[in-house]
Chain A
Amino acid sequence: MIDKSPEYRFKKALGVSMMLLLVAFAALPTLWALILSVRSPSAVFEPIWESPLALTLENFFNITRSDFPKALLNSFITAGSATVLAMIIGVPAGFALAKSRVSGKFIASWVLLLLRMAPPVGFVIPLFLLYVNAGLIDTYLGLIVAYMTLTLPLVVWSMWNSFAQVPDELIEAALMDDATLTQAFLLIVLPAARPGAVAAAILAFLVAWNDFFFSLIITRSSTTTAPVAVMNFISFDSVDWASIAVASIALTLPILPLMAIANRYIVQSLSGAVKG
C-alpha cells in the first residue's frame, strides 16, 4: 500500500508540520530558559539576535553566592525525609491492602484519593495555627510532617496497585514453606514489586520537591525550600531574570533522570486498577 498521490503527501506534510509545532511548543520555553541562564546581565533585555555572543557563565557562579544553594539543600532534606518515611510506613500498608481480606477497602481507597485531591489550603490553615503554637514554624520537622500529607497517601495508593499485580500464589507458596508473613513480604513479594516501589518513591519525592504552597506558609528564611527561595530573585523594583533562569534549571535537573526512570509507572500508579 504505497500511496504517493499528492493528496497523501499533503496529509503527510500536514501531520508532520503539526507535530513540529507541538515539538516547538514543548521545547522552546525550555530553550528560552537555557538561553536566559547564560545571557550577560547587561544583555538580558536585548533580543538574542542583536547580541548573540553576549553570553556568560557568570550567572551560575553568582547564584552560588546567594541563599539558593542552602534552599536546594533544604529541599533535598525535607523532600527526601518525607519520601523515606512515607515508604517505610506506606509500603507494608499497600501490601496488606492489596493482599489481605480486611474490610473497608473501598473506604480506604476513597480516603487515599480524597487526601491526594484535597486542596492544600485546607491542610495548611490548621497546620499553620498548630505550628505557630507548637513552635514548628520554620523547622525541618514541621515541613516534613506537612509533606507527609502529600507523600503518604501517594505511596500507599501506588504500592497498592503494584502489589495487586504480584500473583497470590507467590505468597501462598512462601507461606506453605513455613515463612512468616513478614518474611514472605520482605524476601519474596517486595523484590517482585521493586520497580513499582522505585516509581512510588520517585513520585513521592517529586510532589514534595515540587511543593510551593506549604513551604511558602510554614517556613521562613532558615528552612525555606528552593521553589520559594527562587522568589527572592524578584525584588520590589527589579527582577534578576538570569538568576531565575539558573535557579529554574537547578530545580529541574535533579528531576529529569527520575522522570526518565519513572514515566512508565506514572500511568500505572494513577489509574491502575485497585482490586476491590
Chain B
Amino acid sequence: MTLTSTKRLGATYELQRGYRRMIYPAVIAVGIFAIVPLAGMFALAFSDYHLLRGTNWQFGFKNFARLLSDQRLMNSIYVMSILSFFGVATQVIIGTAVAVGLQKIVGRWRFGRILFLVPYAVPHVAVALIWLSLFTPTLSPINAFFDLFGITVPSFLTTQGGAMFAIVMADTWTNFPFAMLIILAALQGISPDLDEAAAIDGATRVKTFFFITLPLLMPALLMVTLFRFIDSLKHFPMIFVITKGGPGRSTQATNFYAYVQTFQNSNVAYGAAIAVTLFLMAALISFYVARLNQRVSQ
C-alpha cells in the first residue's frame, strides 16, 4: 500500500511537469500568433499612426474621443445591430424549425440532414456571390420569374433597407444549419416520454412544443444565439461582396467601417480604435459564454 501511494505521489509531481511541458508550446504559440497582434492593436489605437504619413509618436485618447462624435460610427453600429438582430433571429427560428422537422423524420431520411448542411459548407465568399447574383435584377431567376406575371421586382441593392435584407438573407442561408445542428443535438437529448406524457394529459402538439420542448431547449438556444451573435459582429465578406458598404455608406457595419478607415482612408490608428471597441464588446460577451459553459458543466 505504501509502495503504491509513494509511487503515485512521485508520479503526480512528474505528471504535472509532463502536463506543463505539453501546454507550453501552445502558450508560446498563442502568445506570438495572437496576443502580440492584439497588443499591437491596442497600441495602435492609442497612437497617431497613418499609413501614408507615418507617426509622430504621440499617444493619447484622441481616437477614442473622436469615436464618440463620429456619425459614421453611429450608423455602423446601427447597421451592425440590425444585421445581427434580424440575421440571428431568422437563423435561430429557421434552424429550430428544420431541426424539429428533421427530428420527426430522422430515421427515415438521413439524407435530409446532409441536404440542409450543404449551405453551411459553402464558403462565405461563394455564398455572397450566389446571393449577389440572385439580387442582380438583370440576372436573377427570381426577377425573371415574376416578370412572367408582369410583376417587376424592385432592385433591392439600391436602398439601405433592401441591401441589409440581402445581407441578412445570405447570412441566414449559410448559417441556419449551424443552429439546426445544435438544436437537433439538444432535441435528441430530450426524452420522448415527456411528449407522450403531455399527449396523455391532452396537450396538443403545438402546446407541447411551446410549454415542454422549448423550455428544455433554452440552454441550446442561448448558446446558438450567443455564438451567432458574436460571429455576426464580424460581418465582412457578405458586405464586401454584396453591397460594398453601399448604397453610399449605408451598409458599413462596424467591422467593415474599421476596414474602410484603416485600408481605404489609411487611418490606421483610428481603424484600430474602432477594432478595439468591437473587441471589447466581443470580450464581454465571450466572458459571459465562458462562465455559462463552466456552470453548465458543473
Residues of A within 8 A of B (CB): 11, 15, 18-19, 22-23, 25-27, 29-30, 32-33, 36, 44-45, 47-48, 89-90, 92-93, 95-97, 99-102, 106, 109-111, 113-123, 125-127, 129-130, 145, 148-149, 152-153, 156, 175, 180-182, 185, 209-210, 212-213, 216-217, 227-228, 230-231, 241, 244-245, 247-248, 251-252, 255-256, 258-260, 263, 266-267, 270-271, 273-276
Given A119-B278, A274-B297, are A96 and B118 also a contact pair (CB < 8 Å)?
Answer: no
A/B interface sample: 26 pairs, CB < 8 A? A23-B116, A30-B118, A47-B147, A100-B16, A117-B282, A121-B236, A122-B276, A123-B34, A125-B40, A125-B44, A126-B43, A127-B37, A149-B34, A152-B30, A212-B124, A212-B240, A251-B125, A255-B121, A255-B122, A256-B118, A258-B121, A263-B113, A263-B181, A270-B227, A273-B293, A273-B296
Partner of B117, one of A23, A120, A259: A259
Is the beta-carbon distance between A106 and B11 smaller than 8 angstroms?
Answer: no
Is the beta-carbon distance between B38 and A118 smaller than 8 angstroms?
Answer: yes
Is the beta-carbon distance between B290 and A110 smaller than 8 angstroms?
Answer: yes
Q: Does B241 reach chain A (CB closer than 8 Å)?
A: yes
Q: Please name the residue on chain B nearest to A105 by beta carbon.
A: B294
Partner of B20, one of A15, A18, A102: A102
Main secondary structure of the interface of B (DSSP, over half): helix
- For the complex formed, measure the closest distance between the CB of B261 and the CB atoms of chain A, giving whole angstroms: 10
Q: Does B60 reach chain A (CB closer than 8 Å)?
A: no
Residues of A within 8 Å of B178, CB to CB, are: 266
Given A123-B38, A125-B262, A125-B272, are A102 and B14 also a contact pair (CB < 8 Å)?
Answer: no
Residues of B within 8 Å of A93, CB to CB, are: 22-23, 25-27
Main secondary structure of the interface of A (DSSP, over half): helix
Expressed in whole angstroms, the Cα–Cα distance for A273 and B43 within the complex equals 35
Is the beta-carbon distance between B236 and A212 smaller than 8 angstroms?
Answer: yes
Which of B234, B271, B293, B298 gathers most chain A CB within 10 Å?
Answer: B293
Number of interface residues of B (CB under 8 A): 98
Is the beta-carbon distance between B181 and A266 smaller than 8 angstroms?
Answer: yes
Is the beta-carbon distance between A114 and B227 smaller than 8 angstroms?
Answer: no
Q: Does B263 reach chain A (CB closer than 8 Å)?
A: yes
Residues of B within 8 Å of A26, CB to CB, are: 98, 115-116, 118-119, 173, 176-177
Within 8 A of A (CB), among B19-59: 19-20, 22-23, 25-27, 29-30, 33-34, 36-41, 43-44, 49
Q: Does B130 reach chain A (CB closer than 8 Å)?
A: yes
Q: Does B82 reach chain A (CB closer than 8 Å)?
A: no
Is the beta-carbon distance between B15 and A175 smaller than 8 angstroms?
Answer: yes
Residues of B within 8 Å of A106, CB to CB, are: 290, 294
Q: Does B212 reach chain A (CB closer than 8 Å)?
A: no
- For the complex formed, measure the closest distance between the CB of A266 and the CB atoms of chain B, giving whole angstroms: 6
Is the beta-carbon distance between B241 and A110 smaller than 8 angstroms?
Answer: no
Expressed in whole angstroms, the Cα–Cα distance for A30 and B144 within the complex equals 18
